[in-house]
Amino acid sequence: MQVQRLKTGEGPRGMTHVAIISYGQGDFSAAATTQTYTLATLASGDLVGYPLAFVYVKTAVTGITTPTIVVGHAGDTDFLVPSGSIATAARVLPPVAVSAAAGGAFTGATNATLQAVVSSGSENWSAATAGEIHIFFNLNRINEDINTMATLS
């Protein structure tokens, strides 16, 4: 899995990072029906804010029955993106609604790991034969930004 910081104007508006999970990179390797990916470890002062996150299925996952994905944190795996199918290419899985009681911004002080979890109907993820998923998220590292501002002044 690759995680990249996006340059201004490089990705969808409001998103700062993209994680790419791909069959071609050997990312579907678990001998289990679920596989968890750590997208970011949040430190004190980090904030995942609106527009939160979304999933883009660039290449459909094949070789797996009913493949799905959720995006959230260790305490609530579908906190940011509810369960959605990753069996169809060019599909966008949107974030939870801003008004959703369970959804919203979260910080490193409350939840330490931003993660994605893929699940299958019954096959191990090592049986996947194709697939590429892009997870865009808005991660603000407030301490880094404040330190940069202090250096500039």
Over residues 39-53, the pLDDT tens digits come to: 998 887 788 888 789
Q: Is the C-alpha dihedral spanning 119, 123, 127, 131 positive or negative? A: negative
Please give the share of the chain, as a percent, with pLDDT higher than 90: 54
pLDDT average, residue stretch 92-101: 70
CB of 16 within 8 A of CB of 145? no
The pLDDT, as a whole number, for residue 1 is 92
User: Is the model's pLDDT at 147 over the cut of 80?
Assistant: no
Beta pairing class for 106-107 and 91-93: unpaired
Distance CA 119, CA 123 (A): 9
CATH architecture of the domain covering 2-152: Sandwich (2.60)
pLDDT average, residue stretch 105-130: 85
Q: Compute the residue count for the chain.
A: 153
User: Is the model's pLDDT at 18 over the cut of 70?
Assistant: yes
Read off the pTM: 0.86
User: Is the model's pLDDT at 101 over the cut of 80?
Assistant: no
Residue 147 phi, psi dihedral angles, 5° rounding: -65, -40
pLDDT average, residue stretch 135-141: 90
User: Is the model's pLDDT at 91 over the cut of 80?
Assistant: yes
At a CB cut-off of 8 Å and minimum separation 6, what does 13 contact? none
The pLDDT, as a whole number, for residue 102 is 45
At a CB cut-off of 8 Å and minimum separation 6, what does 103 contact? 52, 79, 80, 95, 96, 97
The pLDDT, as a whole number, for residue 52 is 86
